[in-house]
Amino acid sequence: MTLLAYCVTKTSAVVDAPLTGVGGSPIQNVEHGDLRCFVSPSTEDSPLPASQVRDAALAFHRVIDRIFDQTAIIPFRFPTLLPRETELIAYLAEHLVEYRAALTRLRDMVQMEIGLQFKGSTSNRGIAESSGVLGAEAKPSGTAYLQKIRARHEKLEVAAKELRQACLSFTKEWRQRDSSEGIRCFALVERGSVGRFQTELRTVGIEPDLDARLSGPWPASQFLKEE
Amino acid sequence: MTGDHPQEMAATSNSILVTDPHSGDETSLLEILDHVLNAGVVIRGNLVISLAGVDLVYVGLDVILTSIETALKHLQNDVPKPKQ
């Protein structure tokens, strides 16, 4: 029987999991050592219709969110399907030490995310057009394009640094990476400090041509590995 | 963490938009879908997606699952090119 895997917790965590998950299938536990994985049965005879992916993904999220409300979790991406329970147990065995350590370290932690980008621009094509790379008067624009890309990135980096500085006292760890739209920042925050973290960030001034969007709390999936 | 969430759906201050994943608005839905499909650990497994009763995707145990979108990319790359 194929299993849809939702997330991993420690067996010591007392969790009131939802009764049903994606497609109304019952939520079950698979345990190995001190790890518990929440799954629901899924039959290969009835594959996921593409038209229902969104609803299924949201149902998946609801299960994860309910469990995450109660304890630290390691979420699986949707859809993670395994053909048999034995393969899930083998996976848990392979990652037992790593996941145990992560769940202990992240026990009282959540992940807050900040997306930073320029207003009204989501791709480098817009920069190319405004630099003249695309279009008739394109001749001197290669260097201009690269300079503009670099200047924009530097501006985003400065904004990210200011945000990080503003919430330093509530942040246990900070990671960031470039995305196609700009920069994504991830802050590891204690569960009890989320409200203060949000309040603090609301006071930060952002350059008028930038957008900053804060979301969370999320499972601390960006912090599973120590750096 | 219900107690940590602001009750309003979203608030702006100095250009920072604070979104609440529990608010149910469109922005939050997109954030949730982005997380569900792109965050979290990956594992080897099987995936079948069907459209109009036709199975479009079958990803075997040798392909790392990431998300539907990524899985589709894997599959498109794996599909043999038609002979000229």
Please report whether residue A134 resides in a domain: no
Instruction: Give A79's contacts in chain B (Cβ within 8 Å).
Output: 47, 65, 68
Q: Do B48 and A48 touch (CB under 8 A)?
A: yes
Beta bridge pairs of residue A3: A41, A82
User: Residue B31's pLDDT is what?
Assistant: 84
Nearest CB to B14 within list A65, A204, A215: A204
Please report whether residue A133 resides in a domain: no
A94 and A166 share one domain: no
A118 and A213 share one domain: yes
Burial of A81 (0-12, 13-18, 19+ CB in 10 A): buried
A40 and A97 share one domain: yes
Nearest CB to B21 within list A83, A201, A215: A215
A182-202, pLDDT tens digit by residue?
Answer: 999 999 999 999 999 999 998
Q: What is the CATH number of the domain that holds A187?
A: 3.30.70.600
Domain, as residue range, for A198: 109-122+154-223
Please report whether residue A164 resides in a domain: yes
Q: Do B50 and A48 touch (CB under 8 A)?
A: yes
Q: Do A202 and B18 touch (CB under 8 A)?
A: yes
User: Residue B2's pLDDT is what?
Assistant: 40
User: Residue A192's pLDDT is what?
Assistant: 95
Average per-residue pLDDT in chain A? Answer: 87
Q: How far apart are CA B33 and CA A190, in angstroms?
A: 24
pLDDT-based confidence at B34, cuts 50/70/90?
Answer: confident
Q: In the predicted model, is pLDDT for residue B44 greater than 80?
A: no
User: Residue A160's pLDDT is what?
Assistant: 94
Residue B54 phi/psi, 5-degree rounding, is -110, 125
A58 and A113 share one domain: no
Q: In the predicted model, is pLDDT for residue A127 greater than 70?
A: no
A115 and A216 share one domain: yes
A70 and A163 share one domain: no
Highest mean pLDDT among A20-29, B44-53, B71-80: A20-29
* B55 compared with A56, residue with greater pLDDT: A56
Report whether A42 contacts A81 (CB < 8 A). yes
Q: In the predicted model, is pLDDT for residue B55 greater than 60?
A: no
Min Cα–Cα distance to chain B from A194, Å: 6
* A140 compared with A75, residue with greater pLDDT: A75
Instruction: Give A74's contacts in chain B (Cβ within 8 Å).
Output: 40-41
Q: In the predicted model, is pLDDT for residue B56 greater than 80?
A: no
Please report whether residue A59 resides in a domain: yes
* A177 compared with B6, residue with greater pLDDT: A177
A33 and A88 share one domain: yes
* pTM above threshold 0.90: no
A84 and A117 share one domain: no
Q: 3-state class of A15 per DSSP?
A: coil
Please report whether residue A142 resides in a domain: no
Number of domains observed in the structure of chain A? 2
Task: Name the nearest CA neighbour of A143 among A163, A157, A128, A155.
Answer: A128
Instruction: Give A212's contacts in chain B (Cβ within 8 Å).
Output: 15-17
pLDDT-based confidence at B78, cuts 50/70/90?
Answer: very low
Kindly state whether A48 is in contact with chain B, defined as any CB-CB distance less than 8 angstroms.
yes
Q: How far apart are CA A2 and CA A22, in angstroms?
A: 13
A162 and A94 share one domain: no
A118 and A42 share one domain: no
